[in-house]
């Protein structure tokens, strides 16, 4: 770790396992696996919002859960860093 990273590292970073104190706000529809993985790969914490990356409107909880499963799997394929999920 270089000196700049030493300076910005804090307890929240340690708890979340990230190297930069940046948490990307989850935004329903707007966040995508690509965005979340990019933030996490850059050292922050990317967070998926509901219907992340989806282009189709779903109407049931089961469909929403299945959509989120797909978004989580896609994000995992793009980063091995920690990321979050919101509702």
Ligand X SMILES: Cc1cc2nc3c(=O)[nH]c(=O)nc-3n(C[C@H](O)[C@H](O)[C@H](O)COP(=O)(O)O)c2cc1C
Question: 3-state DSSP call for residue 48?
Answer: strand
Binding mask 27-66 for ligand X (x = CB under 6 A): xx-x------------------xx----------------
Collect all residues with Cβ–Cβ distance below 8 Å to 83 and sequence separation of at least 6. Answer: 36, 37, 39, 40, 45, 46, 47, 48, 75
Residue numbers 1-30 binding ligand X by CB under 6 A: 25-28, 30
Q: How far is the CB of 1 from ligand X (least distance, A)?
A: 26
Tokens of 38: 């990019």
Would you tell me which residues interact with ligand X (CB under 6 A)? 25-28, 30, 49-50, 86
């Amino acid at each position: 770790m270089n000196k700049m990273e030493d300076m910005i590292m804090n307890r929240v970073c340690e708890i979340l396992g990230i190297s930069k104190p940046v948490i990307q706000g989850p935004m329903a529809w707007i966040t995508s696996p690509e965005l979340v993985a990019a933030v996490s790969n850059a050292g922050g914490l990317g967070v998926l919002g509901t219907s992340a990356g989806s282009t189709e409107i779903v109407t049931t909880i089961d469909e929403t859960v299945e959509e989120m499963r797909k978004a989580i799997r896609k994000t995992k394929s793009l980063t091995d860093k920690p990321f979050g999920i919101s509702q």
